[in-house]
Amino acid sequence: MTMEQNNIPQQPPAFTCHDVDQVLWDIAIDAPDLLAALQHDLPDLPARLEGLRRQLPCARSINPFHSDDLQRPYRHLRAFYQNTGVGSAVLAHKGTEVHAHDRDQHLAVLAEFRIDYPVRGKSLFSAAEHFALVEQKIPLAISSVEAVEDARAACQLQQAHWQRFGQLACIPTPLLVIQWPAAVRDSHLQALRNLLSGRAMHIVDTMTAQGLAAIIYHYPSLPLRVAHLPVELKKQGGGTWLQRLASLTASYGLTPEQVVERWIDLVARMLALGFLPGRTEHIGIGHCLEMQNAVVDGGFVDLGSVVAMTEVKSDSAFMEMLMAAFADLAKTVRHFMLGPVPDVEAEYRNPSLLMLACLQRVVPALLQRLRTYPDLEPRLQAYLDRSESTCFTALAEELQNLSPRMLNPAEHA
């Protein structure tokens, strides 16, 4: 999606506090080990959470803003960020936009704006329809189901990382999921009814049956995404894409090379801990390795797609998710290093030469890192072990899992 950047005011909009209906997920109850880990640097965190369990601050505007303490970067339509005062870490407030005074104005823009796909042209769906029909998301809001799913997935991975490596991963650490009162949900749905098609509205009604929510999480830096780089790099002045990229990543104390290495390290650790980055049903609608969720500090956000390998019963599904992780990581690296280049078969074929080069470099680096970890999940270890087999033997086994079996027409008789 491409939109022109708004002028970002240097002072945040006015804030109002709104009552919480109930707490659906709480780090103090559901992950006290992670709370203790965060308290080492944020000793006042329990006191902060105590107030947030009753009321959440909500920006009166969804427009981008920036101050010393608070900011909403361009295209962060469902979240703003508060500096913690400790390094560059922030507390993300996601899902408070249902209370914004300009909510209806922004919903109207989303209902007019069309998704622009490189080469393919503009979608027939508006952005609002796209969120509901394609991404299964609620425009400018979060369902209680989505928020709790995200918190549980991030918590499970973060706990495993903390227990094994003794440090928090560069991913969100969920703090609270709160539910808004039913009147807030009803108001938001009413605002959407005249903007969405009947099918999209039916999906939204179904998704919000258990209510609307907000999630508060900790992240080690302001989570600027790879998908937002074209706009962010316009601020860096002249120079090539990589030169401007280096200026941007320097604000994180990193070089572009270090960012790529951190992504590869983090994905290797995810796999070594027994997690796949994305369920099959999340591919294309919110896989955490995709460029809209890959952060330019070497981390990832929106981890609702993460799944424990033990939950994946089918060998075919396991192989599909593993290959999708390789492909999405390589595509994110390509976009990070080159910017938005079109996916066109005319460049060569599918995959393009650019993607072939990225896959050829990223995947072996990831597998080399992965081999340094012991006690891998058996199917993952078997995948690594097949590198000792002949090319044909390894492919024969893997293609069997990746190629759906064709039914004999006689079976339908």
Per-residue pLDDT of 147-177, as tens digits, reads 999 999 999 999 999 999 999 999 999 999 9
| Segment 340-350, tens digit of pLDDT | 876 655 666 77
The total number of residues written for the chain in this structure: 413
Specify the amino acid at residue 253.
Answer: G
Contacts from 336-340 at CB under 8 Å and sequence distance 24+? 336/226, 336/229, 336/245, 336/256, 336/259, 336/260, 336/291, 336/294, 336/296, 337/241, 337/242, 337/245, 337/256, 337/260, 338/241, 339/229, 339/230, 339/233, 339/241, 340/118, 340/230
Number of continuous H segments (helices) and E segments (strands) in the chain: 15, 14
Judged by DSSP in three states, 177 sits in: strand
Strand partners, 294: 300
Segment 90-149, tens digit of pLDDT: 999 999 999 999 999 999 999 998 876 655 567 788 999 999 998 889 999 999 999 999
Interval 249-255 mean pLDDT? 95
Q: What does the pLDDT read at residue 3?
A: 43
CA distances from 132 to 107, 126, 140, 196, 200 (A): 13, 10, 11, 9, 6
Rg (CA), the chain: 22
Asked if pLDDT for residue 296 goes beyond 80, the answer is yes
Torsion angle (degrees, nearest 10) of CA 284, 285, 290, 293: 170
Q: Which region holds residue 211: left if phi is over 0, alpha if psi is between -120 and 50, else beta?
A: left
pLDDT value at residue 108: 95
The whole-number pLDDT of residue 2 equals 39
Q: What is the pLDDT of residue 67?
A: 84
Least confident span in 57-61, 304-308, 310-314, 352-356: 352-356
Backbone angles phi and psi of 158, in degrees to 5? -65, -40
Could you tell me the CA-to-CA distances from 329 to 52, 229, 387 in Å, in that order?
35, 16, 21
The pLDDT assigned to 207 comes to: 95
Q: For residues 13 and 64, give the distance between their C-alpha atoms in angstroms, rounded to a whole number.
A: 9
Report, as an integer, the average pLDDT of 14-27: 95
**What pLDDT, on the 0 to 100 scale, is given for residue 294?**
97
Model pLDDT, residue 281: 82
Instruction: Quote the pLDDT of residue 125.
Output: 84
d(CA 372, CA 256): 24
Q: Say which residue the tokens 């609608």 belong to.
A: 285
CA–CA gap between residue 225 and residue 400 (Å, rounded): 36
The structure's pTM equals 0.91
Average confidence score pLDDT of the chain: 90
